[in-house]
Amino acid sequence: MKILIADDEQLVRTSLRSMLEELGVPLSIREAENGSRLIEEIKAERPDLAFVDIRMPKVNGLEAIEICKNLSPDTQWIILTGYSEFDYAREALRLGAAHYLLKPVSTDELKEVIASLQTTVKEKWIERNRQFEQEMFSMCHSLLPLQEDVRENQTDYLAAMIYVDSRLEEQKKNARLLTLTTTLREHLLEWAEGTLQISLFPLPAGEWTLIAAWENPSAGDWISFWSRVDELVDPFRQADFAVTVIKGNPCSSRQELLEQLDRIKQCSPLRVVAGINRTRNIAELEPDRDHSTAWKFCRQFIGLTDHYRERSFLHFAKLVNELESGWKQFSLSEEQQKNILLFVQAVFSCPFEPGDDFPAWLRMIQAHAEQAFIHNEKGKYASHDLIEEVKRYIDQHYMHQIGIGEIADKLGVTPNYLSTLFHRKTGTTFVKYLTRIRMLKAKELLKNPSIQIQQVAERVGYYSPRHFTKLFVRFFGCYPSEYRDGPKAK
């Protein structure tokens, strides 16, 4: 929790800092000796709590709060003063002060104030992060036009993509993946303590996107962040559940962020020869991306595993033949062959031996796949039935946070297959179809004047009324309030 102490008396600041540090709560504390310095610190740091003396040089505490409320809307203000006059208290309350404390402040009073505000601060962290996550989700799925974040301070973004290669059954794989992503989100938010925002969501092909935004971070901050990510991911990395994280570099705009995500997607097949079950920087893979032969080989191998999981026998057999006839041109090093073996062992349940050559691996994969296709039990739905099941699920659960991954899990198919099939059969993506259903449901709810706009947003699956409004305007060309008041809603 970030705290600012603003008082023109050094002794008061030192005493208050000492008492706060003795509370045993993780705190980052800064100080300001006058009102002007308070405004500068608020603009730069946006603290969670600010203790402010009323009588300070240059700008008094109440005037400074008036200015700072727009600079840092989520800061909780605690008036710290020797004046108990009613006028001061009334003005402090008008400005939204959370507490009004008289000097000298006791340790018990301070402990009570911090305890009462910790929940409020944490709720604001969570709400801010939900807003950020919805913005990133909409941006990556092209639901809204790209809008750069306008902030007083420099914001750095960092993107990564999480790829899971696994031979586990689809339901077991998805259950473990859900545990992994839930662990990442919860522990990273707790670790960050409001200093950065985290967005974590799946893309149609089944990979997960991790985006972080941090105001004025140092190089050391990002190093600490990635160390924490690896600490959380490492326990999930197993021979039959390989978790590969490919990360970009810090960038200063959302446009650059999208470009980095695209570069990561382009390079992601190279994990076949570069090695799985580890975290890599995009810069390590891009030289091989320019090597068209290596990239083509890896793309074919990823395609092979996709067709295997989707039980697409003809496409699978075609790729096996292409790899068998053309593998020699790839000039695989010993290290690359070792990495390929680790990849195929993660994806296929075959008794591979390190001494076998590449054609022997392919023959074993093909024999294993043929048996799996013969005993395939995933054909209980025809393709049109699958799409109808997806639409039915959306109609029943659009008000919740749903994704293609959980529906694919219930239907016993891969997210990539279901996403591709849905797009081919409906002419739109799953996310855009879901958003359209939510907007149509919202129009129906807006006909009821007793339901507030915020309630409408929540009932169709959006935490943020602002984000909901942006989507509504994009779909219908008017604000929800305008639609409600217009003739079309009558």
Judged against a pLDDT cut of 60, whether residue 150 lies above it is answered with no
Strands 241-247 and 279-281: parallel
Structure confidence at residue 381 (pLDDT): 53
Overall residue count recorded for the chain in this entry: 490
pLDDT in tens, 83-142: 666 566 677 777 778 888 888 888 888 888 888 888 888 888 888 888 899 889 999 988
Of residues 36, 39, 61, 66, the one with CA closest to residue 51: 61
DSSP string, 292-330: HHHHHHHHHHHHHHHHHHHT-HHHHHHHHHHHHHHGGGG
CATH 3.30.70.270 maps onto the chain at 148-290
Structure confidence at residue 86 (pLDDT): 59
CATH 3.40.50.2300 maps onto the chain at 2-122
User: What is the pTM assigned to this prediction?
Assistant: 0.80
**Contact of 465 with 454, CB cutoff 8 Å:** yes
Judged against a pLDDT cut of 80, whether residue 345 lies above it is answered with yes
State phi, psi for 325 to the nearest 5 degrees. Answer: -85, -20
Better-scored residue on pLDDT, 147 or 419: 419
Across 252-267, average pLDDT: 92
pLDDT in tens, 424-474: 889 999 999 999 999 999 999 999 989 999 999 999 999 888 899 999 999
**Cα 258 to Cα 251: distance, rounded to the nearest angstrom:** 10
Structure confidence at residue 487 (pLDDT): 66
Across 70-80, average pLDDT: 87
Q: Which two tokens stand for residue 400?
A: 């919740």
Structure confidence at residue 440 (pLDDT): 95
User: Can you tell me whether residue 488 is helix, strand or coil?
Assistant: helix
Residue that the structure tokens 């026998």 belong to: 313
Architecture of domain 383-489: Orthogonal Bundle (1.10)
pLDDT in tens, 155-214: 899 999 999 999 998 888 888 998 999 999 889 988 877 678 999 998 877 789 999 998
CATH 1.10.10.60 maps onto the chain at 383-489
Query: Cα–Cα distances in Å, from 443 out to 131, 391, 484, 488?
Result: 22, 19, 8, 10
Structure confidence at residue 489 (pLDDT): 54
**Cα 490 to Cα 481: distance, rounded to the nearest angstrom:** 13
**Cα 50 to Cα 97: distance, rounded to the nearest angstrom:** 10
What is the CB neighbour count within 10 angstroms for residue 371? 10
Q: How confident is the model at residue 297 (pLDDT cuts 50, 70, 90)?
A: confident
Q: Which CATH number fits domain 148-290: 1.20.1560.10, 3.20.20.100, 3.30.70.270, 3.30.565.10?
A: 3.30.70.270
**What single-letter amino acid sits at 56?**
M
At residue 378's C-alpha, the angle toward residues 375 and 380, to 5°, is 115
Residue that the structure tokens 């975290």 belong to: 279
**Cα 44 to Cα 72: distance, rounded to the nearest angstrom:** 10
Structure confidence at residue 164 (pLDDT): 94
User: Could you give the percent of the chain with pLDDT greater than 90?
Assistant: 37
**Cα 162 to Cα 160: distance, rounded to the nearest angstrom:** 7
**Contact of 316 with 307, CB cutoff 8 Å:** yes
Cα 412 to chain centroid, rounded:
26
Query: Cα–Cα distances in Å, from 431 out to 86, 139, 213, 428?
Result: 55, 12, 23, 8
Judged against a pLDDT cut of 70, whether residue 30 lies above it is answered with yes
Q: Which two tokens stand for residue 331?
A: 């000039």
Provide the CATH topology of domain 2-122.
Rossmann fold (3.40.50)
- The single-letter DSSP state of residue 72 is -
What is the CB neighbour count within 10 angstroms for residue 231? 11
**Cα 340 to Cα 361: distance, rounded to the nearest angstrom:** 10
